[in-house]
Amino acid sequence: MSAWNDACKYGGRSRVWIPRGTFLLGSVLFEGDCNGSMAFLIKGTLKARTGGPNLFADTWIGFRYVANLTVKGGGILDGQGPTAWAYNDCRNNSRCLPLPATLRFDFVRDSSVYNIRSVDSKNAHINLFACDNVHVSKVRLRAPADSPNTDGIRIGSSTRVSISHSRISTGDDCISMVSGSQNIDIHDVSCGPGHGISVGSLGRSHEREYVTGITVRNCSFIGTDNGVRIKTWAPSRYSVASNIVFRDIVMENPRNPIVIDQKFCPSSPDCDSKVGSSSAVQIKDVTFQNIWGVSSSKVALKLQCSRAMPCRNIKLIDIVLVYSGPGRRATAQCSHVIGSSYGRLIPNGCL
């Protein structure tokens, strides 16, 4: 911490260097404002502590109120998640305590994360909150397919974020964009195993939520639970997800390649069937274009929109998805969708 504090006070370009070797590290938070640009170079392997106050926290390595920051170096961040995943029981335990994200950025702007490897995170590998103009590139994020809540990159209340040329294999969403995500560009990302790239879930809180200006392009999904997905809770407050583009996508045996799910309520599968219980999240202006490959389930395209707030201006353009099972013929399911289709469409008959 003293090295960071000294570098932060310097008015020019400063760097903090973690040399080669293996080091055990507890929870740390590096804060600004700093007087100049900062480079945080990780050459060695950092291992998270596994007990005591370090187990239940929101951050392992955090950066807050920093501008012009670069985190890079080719090093490894080992969250030692297997020692903590048994405590990740929030779905069944209302008193559960948070587990730390490996890298957390709060109120960070004009910054980049480059050439970093994260393994076995206790929670999310990288968490971006209230950030602006942050670029993530050439990261490798890995955790077992059954590791709970290990999102690769989680984005919320952030603008102008780009994620590129990265490989994510984890137990939850490879990338998730929740409320307040605006102008997000994701390209050249390989996802799998994992739960795909998701917008949402939206609508669970008591506040109005929004996500807008999302582009996912030139990505591949390999053996994932989902491919590209938008999910909202039912019931929910009025919220909006809009101006979203998924294009130039390769599917290699995901279970659900293309999904809009406005009936996301794990504790009550029939939540949309009751009066007043539909999702009130408006999904509009969404394009799925040039998506092709193989689905491991027969239903390759599923657009389940809200009865109370139908999806609007949904476009399907040049989609070719075949089923990996007998007959190779995939199907599509749509409900409460207003939209149009163009070009070659397999499966057909949805819009």
Q: Count the neighbouring beta carbons within 10 Å of the beta carbon of residue 146.
A: 9
Same domain, 139 and 195: no
* The pLDDT of residue 187: 99
* The pLDDT of residue 51: 80
Residue 99 belongs to domain with CATH number: 2.160.20.10
DSSP character string of 178-203:
-TT-EEEEEEEEEE-SSS-EEEEEES
218 pLDDT tier (thresholds 50, 70, 90): very high
* The pLDDT of residue 206: 76
Tell me which residue range forms the domain holding 125.
1-150
Same domain, 182 and 138: no
Question: Rounded to an integer, what distance in angstroms lies between the CA atom of residue 236 and that of residue 234?
Answer: 5
Same domain, 137 and 179: no
- Residue 332 maps to a domain: yes
Same domain, 323 and 198: yes
Q: What is the pLDDT of residues 276-312, one digit of tens each?
A: 578 999 999 999 999 999 999 999 999 999 999 999 9
- Residue 64 maps to a domain: yes
Same domain, 47 and 85: yes
28 pLDDT tier (thresholds 50, 70, 90): very high
- Is the CB of residue 62 less than 8 Å from the CB of residue 48? no
Same domain, 180 and 86: no
Same domain, 285 and 345: yes
Name beta bridge partners: 117: 76, 140
**112 or 55: which carries more pLDDT confidence?**
112
- Sorted by sequence, the CB contacts under 8 Å of residue 116 that are 6+ apart come out as 42, 71, 72, 73, 74, 75, 77, 103, 139, 140
The alpha carbons of the chain give a radius of gyration, in whole angstroms, of 21
Same domain, 234 and 192: yes
Least confident of 65-69, 135-139, 177-181, 324-328: 324-328
Same domain, 140 and 238: no
Name beta bridge partners: 311: 337
Q: Give the mean model confidence (pLDDT) for residues 171-182.
A: 98
CA 148, distance to chain mean position in Å, is: 14
Q: Give the mean model confidence (pLDDT) for residues 146-161.
A: 98
Same domain, 92 and 194: no
Catalytic: 187? no
* The pLDDT of residue 276: 58
Q: Is 283 left (phi over 0), alpha (psi -120 to 50) or beta?
A: beta
Q: Which of 135, 195, 206, 336 is catalytic?
A: 195
Longest CA–CA span in the chain (Å) reads 66
pTM: 0.95
Q: What is the pLDDT of residues 85-127, one digit of tens each?
A: 998 877 777 777 889 999 999 999 999 999 999 999 999 999 9
Structural domains of the chain, count: 2
